[in-house]
A and B are shown apart, each in its own frame.
Chain A
Amino acid sequence: MDRRQFLGTMAGAAALGLGKISFAQSANELRLGFLAATSGPAAFLGASERLVFDLMVEQYNAAGGIGGRKVVPVTYDTEGNSTVAAQQLRRLIESDKVDVVVGPSTTGEALVLRTIAEESKIPLITMTGTESIVVPPTPYVFKTAPTDRHVSLHMLQFAKEKGWTNIGIITSADGFGQAGATYLKANAEKLGMKIALAEEFGPRDTDMTPQILRLRRAGIQALMIWSVNPGPTIILRNAEAAGFKTPIINSFGVASPALLEQAGRSAENTYVSTMRLLIPDLLPASDPLQPVVAKIAKEYRAKYNQPVTTFVGNAHDAVKLVELAVKKISGPLSRDGIANAIKSGVSFPGCNGMMAYSATNHGGQDDTLSPVVMVQIKNGKFVPA
């Protein structure tokens, strides 16, 4: 903190001395901001993202920085509150004088910060999966996480390959579930599949047996669940009790080991569409992303002695994007320079897909490889399906 304040004061003095506001203070450093909720209800996302951010910054500096530029991190905890996040972003821009910001991880915060980033002309690499953040693209905002569109398409394509074309869906009656339902319906139509029955449930509902019974009567070939827990776990348990034998495919909303613990036996044989980081050690060597995912998972576990989360990939890919963009710049760093470097084309295999940023693609993932994979629960473990 002291150090940051000191640097901030120095920066202020330098700016005054020059008589005009300039961006980077030294040609030899990259000032890298990080904003995410590391406490509060969204900490399940931000905490591991922050850890991998710290890990990568440490690695760069140990190796002499990025292209010879020392990385100076400035991080804040937004507590998941978009008002707090907005203040912190302004502080990063005005007093911390960062060149680029990684974060935030929730849609609500990202929507607020996007406006500020565009006004202040600072590149913001969000870790959210909301497509509307980057579609249509705006000059300074990018994202790394897979979107609902990717995941819904992946779930449906998987079902189609299995020959299940008559589908039922059950989604939570909240923002996440409703977006999922919309994408599943739209993509099913594109793929020529039929959604025979679409059920909903309240995010705090305790028993979804009636919906399960309706779905059973509908004669569907597969059931897709789109919600975060506890809903999906309750549905799996209700389905098991009701002897519901239809294959069940969950969205990435439940892609965490907690599902195995909570749903236990009732999750057996069901599927989950998930980021690769859920199974870093089980990816086939033929997977082009396998080396990246396995490497970061190994390093993360070694440093922190705790399992990786799928969210690690969001921060990893964001920092990787910064690294590659900065390496493209030979002269002094500037905020515009970094944004332009990304837009002029940065491609790399990330944890969240084959990333191919360009003037028109601010979302990252290209269309050749799905950012998610299908896993099945066998004997209480996730295995590639």
Chain B
Amino acid sequence: MDSFLQNLISGCLLGCIYAMAALGFTIVFNASRIVNFANGEFLMLGGVGLAGVVVTAGLPLWLGVILAIACTAFVGVLMQVAFLNNARSADELSLVMLTIGTGLAIRGAGALIFGRSVTFVPDFGLFPMLLMGDVYIVSQGIWIALTLVAVGIALWYLFSRTTFGKAMKAASQEPRAAALCGIEPRQAAAAAFAIAAGLGGLAGALLAPISAAFYENGVFLGLKGFAAAVAGGMGNPLGAVVGGLIIGVVEALSAGYVSSGYKDGVAFIILLLVLLFRPQGLLGGVSVKRV
């Protein structure tokens, strides 16, 4: 029983990271109807950026986290402004290809700037390890869980309480009508990329002390985040969180009770099942447009 609870906790923490990756997909999708396959690379950048600033350059951790988020957000905006805004053809498939290409470029740049080493960053600290009987949550796990809650509240507030958040939604639904209301659709899209990328940077930074920062991490984080976003219902932020948590928990339980060798397939089996029986995603109202 204890080990079941422990596996559950393990899965939830991993799920929190997947959820943040999935939220990145969701935010960009909501703002521009693009599935941004470079999203995983934002998490990678957050991790290696933090490692570079803290471990290599020796700056304080809090500054490193801020820098990692800011730089990643900047890369996100750059990607939107430089590539997607100026894309010759605006059909969905070529935009998706463009995001994949940009992802490769970000990975290459990450390796070039921060090196190819596997680097652990110190724990954020502050919280002690939480012990409840035999069940525990590591200190960094508390950071991860609290951050997801904070991020969730902040995003909920942004998109359902602020005019800017609503303008971002409007610009994606009706870009022309939004422009006629004085909203600049490109600004809204750039803001969405900044938020998604900054969030990715934060998630990557949170993960760096638990698993190491490494320039190839973006691939699997991107895939898991994508699976979570689609499973939860592309475009639905709550769905992204639920999807991320479900995939994390099922992975941990299958590693704990079935076989650790199969656990990576689990995310994609969930994804396939959801697409088969509930194509709009677990919490999705809008169906994903076929590309």
Q: Does A200 contact B (CB under 8 A)?
A: yes
Q: For chain B, what secondary structure do more than half of its interface residues adopt (helix, strand, loop), or is it mixed?
A: helix
- Closest beta carbon of chain B to A306's beta carbon, Å: 16
- Nearest B residue to A209 via CB reads B10
A63 to B139, CA, bound (A): 59
Chain A contacts for B210, CB-based, 8 A: 206-207, 234, 237
Q: In the complex, given contacts A41-B116, A211-B256, A261-B120, what are 5 additional A-B residue pairs having Cβ atoms less than 8 angstroms apart?
A: A40-B116, A201-B260, A202-B264, A205-B211, A213-B3
Among A204, A242, A261, which residue has its beta carbon within 8 angstroms of that of B217? A204
Looking at the assembled complex, report how far the CB atom of A209 sits from the nearest CB atom of chain B, in whole angstroms: 4
Task: Check if A233 sits within 8 Å of B217, measured CB to CB.
Answer: no
What is the CA–CA distance of A242 and B256 in the complex, to the nearest angstrom? 14
Distance in angstroms between the alpha carbons of A241 and B252 in the assembled complex: 16
Contacts of B119 in A (CB 8 A): 262
Sample of 28 A–B contacts (CB below 8 Å): A40-B116, A41-B116, A173-B264, A199-B260, A201-B260, A204-B216, A206-B17, A206-B211, A207-B10, A207-B14, A207-B211, A208-B255, A208-B260, A209-B6, A209-B7, A210-B255, A214-B260, A216-B3, A229-B118, A230-B120, A230-B211, A230-B214, A234-B210, A237-B138, A241-B136, A241-B138, A262-B119, A262-B212
| A-B complex: 4 closest residue pairs judged by Cβ atoms | A206-B211, A210-B256, A230-B212, A210-B255
Contacts of B3 in A (CB 8 A): 213-214, 216-217
Distance, CA A206 to CA B217, complexed state (A)? 10
Interface residues of B in 155-188 (CB under 8 A from A): none
Residue of A nearest to B11 (CB): A210
Q: Which residues of B contact A263 (CB under 8 A)?
A: 120
Q: How long is the Cα–Cα vector from A69 to B120 in the complex, in angstroms? A: 48
Q: How far is the CA of A205 from the CA of B14 in the complex (A)?
A: 10
The answer on a CB contact under 8 Å between B120 and A233 is yes
Name B residues whose Cβ lies closer than 8 Å to a Cβ of A.
3, 6-7, 10-11, 13-14, 17, 116-120, 129, 136, 138, 207, 210-212, 214, 216-217, 219-220, 252-253, 255-256, 259-261, 263-264
A210-B212 contact in complex given A202-B264, A230-B120, C-beta closer than 8 Å: no
Q: Is the CB of A262 within 8 A of B253?
A: no
Inter-chain contacts of B252 with A (CB < 8 A): 207, 209-210
* Residues of chain A within 8 A of B129, CB atoms compared: 241
Q: Which of A199, A207, A216, A237 contacts B13 (CB 8 A)?
A: A207
Are A200 and B136 also in contact (CB < 8 A) when A206-B14, A209-B252 are? no
Closest to A233 in B: B120
Please state if B253 and A210 are interface contacts (CB–CB under 8 Å): yes
Known: A242-B6, A242-B136, A262-B212. A210 touches B260 (CB 8 A): yes
Residue in contact with B256 in the complex, picked from A214, A234, A261, CB distance below 8 Å: A214
Pairwise interchain contact A204-B220, C-beta atoms closer than 8 A: yes
Residues of A within 8 Å of B219, CB to CB, are 204
The CA of A95 and the CA of B234, in the complex, are separated in Å by 59
List the A residue with the shortest CB-CB distance to B209.
Answer: A237
Q: Is the CB of A234 within 8 A of B211?
A: yes
Contacts of A40 in B (CB 8 A): 116
Nearest B residue to A201 by beta-carbon distance?
Answer: B260
Inter-chain contacts of B17 with A (CB < 8 A): 206
List of A residues within 8 angstroms of B220 by Cβ:
202, 204
**Min CB gap A274→B, angstroms:** 18
Give Cα A44 to B7, complex, Å.
35
Q: Assess the B260–A211 pair: CB atoms within 8 A.
A: yes
* A210 in contact with B217 given A230-B118, A241-B136, A262-B120 (CB within 8 Å): no
- Residues of chain A within 8 A of B207, CB atoms compared: 206
Q: Which residues of B contact A217 (CB under 8 A)?
A: 3
Contacts of B253 in A (CB 8 A): 210
* Chain B, residue nearest A202 (CB): B264
| A230 and chain B: residue at smallest CB distance | B212
Smallest distance from the beta carbon of A43 to chain B beta carbons, Å?
8
A260 to B216 CA separation, bound complex (whole angstroms): 23
Q: How far is the CB of A309 from chain B (nearest CB, A)?
A: 13
- Closest chain A residue to B218 by CB distance? A204
What is the CB-to-nearest-CB distance from B269 to chain A, in angstroms, rounded to a whole number?
A: 15
| Docked CA distance A217–B1 (Å) | 12
Q: A200-B260, A206-B17, A206-B207 are known contacts. Are A229 and B6 too (CB-CB below 8 A)? A: no
Q: Min CB distance, B148 to chain A, in Å?
A: 15
Question: Which residues of A sit under 8 angstroms from B118, Cβ to Cβ?
Answer: 229-230
- Cα distance A77–B78 when bound, in Å? 35
The chain B residue sitting closest to A262, CB to CB, is B120
